[in-house]
Each structure stands twice: as structure tokens, then as C-alpha cells.
Amino acid sequence: MRFPEDSNPAFHCIADDWDAFEPYWQACKHGSYARPLRIALQEFYGVDDLTGENWREIVRKANENNTPGIYRRIFKEACGVERSVLCSGSLPDADDPLLLGNIVAPSMQVTSKQSMEGLVEKVDGASVRTLDDLIEAMGRWMEIQAADGAIEFKTRAMPVERPSREKAGEALSRLLAGVALCTDESNELCTYLREADAKKAAELGLPLAIHTGVWGDFRSLSVTDLIGFVGRNPETKMDIYHLGIPEVRSAVQVVKNFRNAYLNLCWAHVVANDMVVATLKEALDMVPTNKVFAFGADYILFIEKVYGHLQMARENVAQVLGDRVDRNLMDLSDAEEILRMWFYDNPKEFYGL
């Protein structure tokens, strides 16, 4: 799979109906979610804001810019990005010099009988009758993905403190009978299977990316629910996404206390700019500097926003480190070293690049 270089339809909703869009824009344009767009508009299209007077011209220019190679122009030329981790349901082209594959872990794919059978079919497995049958098929699937170039498998926090084989087996039996699982049953099954993900990832020498917080009922994505999971799997590197927002202090504590946990700020600067600055100041006190990844954009549409998000990340980290220099807690060379580690050396080492 390659980037959809001829498809960048982020402005289609505006082109369809500006009058419907405009009230929402006015309500959110001063927040940190909107700021990457505003930075990108200024950098690439020469305007500071979307208005009723300029939106048609911006749409026209964006469409003109939407030509093959747009992702590489933005990532490499504008942002200086060497490699990009692509979180997707399938792996990117192995020969692509830019893209790295982060693929959904098999435990997250067992949401129905059909999805489970689809996974098993991909590894030419026999029919699944037990949890052990399923775990064996999951392991083979992960081996295939690793051989095809996967550098990481993605899962999420779940509100189950300790996996239960009994409850997972009951959920699997219902799934095999064609019964749609309720949320609690699905969580019990996925939590148990996630342990197998972790063990196989460690065997393959690959990390697990873990989504935490941010969306929907964020209580079901609490970073504190990872404490047992991270502790039970010390040989598996855990890439904890989104700074655990809103439980940022808990995320810092998890990364501080477990040697296999790392703090990934992907998307975090956009979600809560000032929260990130405050948290990074505390993280410097508690987390080893080799366990922080300062930036990840997490965009699909209107890829120009990656540039805006990166500018925010640079500003935030500069503010945090500059404060330390101003207070004589480190010198400029120390700050420059940490800056390089957070943006470049740490993720490069973590992903084995």
C-alpha cells in the first residue's frame, strides 16, 4: 500500500457548504486542534484564517497542490522527516523509503466470528475451537507481518485489570456461536489475547503501540489500566501513545516506573498544547530522557497540517528546555542534546532504524 498521493479531500466538506461549516470553524479556530491548519494555511497558502471571502481560493490552490508526491513534499522537504510510521490495517510497500508499517494487533481484530475467521484464513489455519487454537493462529499471523516489514503492532488500553482465561473462553464460545459480543465480553476476550500479542511481539523483537485516552469514553482507554499489562510483560517494549491525555501524570508515572514503557507524544500537542508543556516539564524530572518521543502527527487528510503540528511540537519543546536553561538547570548544549534525542535519536533507536 502507498500513500493516496492523488487524494487529499480534506476541503471537500467546505466546498460543499461553507455556510454549514463556518459556525463550527468560528467555535474552534482558536483552539490547539485548529492551530496546525492555521499554520499550514499561512505557510503554504499565504493566509492566516479561513473566511467567507477566501475559502474558494484556498480550495482551488489546495486542489492544485494535490498532485502525486504531495506527501513527500510535505514530509521530507517541508518537515525534514526521514521515515514515517504509518498506522494502518495493512502494511505499506516494503520498497518505500519513507513509510514504516504499524499494523493493528491480532487481538484487536477478533471482534466478530467473521473477523476472526478472516484472520485465521490468512495463515491457512485450521478451524478455531479453543483459545489456544486462536492464539496459535495469531502468532503465525504476526510472524508473517513481521517478515513482510511490520515494525510495530498496535493495541489499546482496556478497562480490565487482570485477564481471565475463563471469561475469555466464555466470550470466545459465544463468538464462535455467532453471537455478537457486548462491550464487556469483547474487552475480556481482547485483554486475554493481548497478553499473547505481547509475548509474540517480544519474541519477534518488535514493540506494541498502545492507544490511550483522548477519544469518546476515555475512561475505557485509561493509561492506569495498563499498569498490570506493562508489568506482566517486561520483555515487550510498550509505545504509549498520546501522553495518556487527560491522565498525563499517570502516563508519566507508568513510563517512569516500568523500564519497557516509553512516552509517545503523537497527536498530544494538538489535543492540549499547554498541557503538553506542563507535563514535559514534570517528565524531565521523572522520566529518563531516552524514553520520550516528542512528535507524531496522526493525520490522514490535508497532510499540510503535519507541518503545522511539527511547528507546535518544536515550540513546546523549546519552551520546556529553554525554561531549564534560563533557570541554570542545564546548559544550552544539554538542551540541544535532549532536543535531538526526543525528536530523532530515541524513536530511531526504539524502532530499530
Q: What is the pLDDT of residue 276?
A: 97
> Could you identify the residue written with the cell 494487533?
105
Q: Does residue 102 sit in helix, strand or coil? A: strand
- Residue 286 makes CB contacts below 8 A (sequence gap 6+) with 252, 253, 256
Q: What is the pLDDT of residue 161?
A: 87
Q: Where are the beta strands (DSSP E) in the chain?
A: 84-88, 99-104, 150-156, 208-211, 238-240, 261-264, 292-293
**Alpha-carbon gap, residue 328 to 324, rounded angstroms:** 6
**Alpha-carbon gap, residue 222 to 240, rounded angstroms:** 11
Among 184, 189, 190, 158, which Cα is nearest to 172's? 189
Q: What is the pLDDT of residue 15?
A: 57
CA separation (Å) from 171 to 131, 186, 287, 325?
A: 10, 7, 38, 55
**Domain residues of the chain, as ranges?**
10-66, 207-353
Q: What is the pLDDT of residue 3?
A: 38
**Alpha-carbon gap, residue 11 to 189, rounded angstroms:** 40
Contact at 8 Å (CB) between 198 and 236? yes
Contact at 8 Å (CB) between 102 and 151? yes
> Could you identify the residue written with the cell 509474540?
200
Q: What is the pLDDT of residue 89?
A: 78
Radius of gyration of the chain (CA): 22
**Alpha-carbon gap, residue 28 to 33, rounded angstroms:** 8
Q: What is the pLDDT of residue 41?
A: 95
Name the β-bridge partners of 262: 239
Compute mean pLDDT per 10 residues along the chain, 353 residues long, and list them. 42 68 94 96 94 91 88 93 88 85 94 90 87 96 95 96 95 94 95 98 98 90 96 97 96 98 96 96 97 92 92 97 97 97 97 93
> Could you identify the residue written with the cell 455467532?
178
Q: What is the pLDDT of residue 71?
A: 85
Contact at 8 Å (CB) between 151 and 96? no
Burial pattern 1-24, b for ≥16 Cβ within 10 A else e, equals: eebeeeebebbeebeeebeebeee
Q: What is the pLDDT of residue 242?
A: 94
**Alpha-carbon gap, residue 19 to 201, rounded angstroms:** 49
Tell me the whole-structure pTM to 2 decimals. Answer: 0.92
**Alpha-carbon gap, residue 127 to 209, rounded angstroms:** 29
From the candidate CATH numbers 3.40.50.980, 1.10.10.10, 3.40.50.720, 3.20.20.140, the one assigned to the domain spanning 207-353: 3.20.20.140
Contact at 8 Å (CB) between 119 and 106? yes
> Could you identify the residue written with the cell 475559502?
55
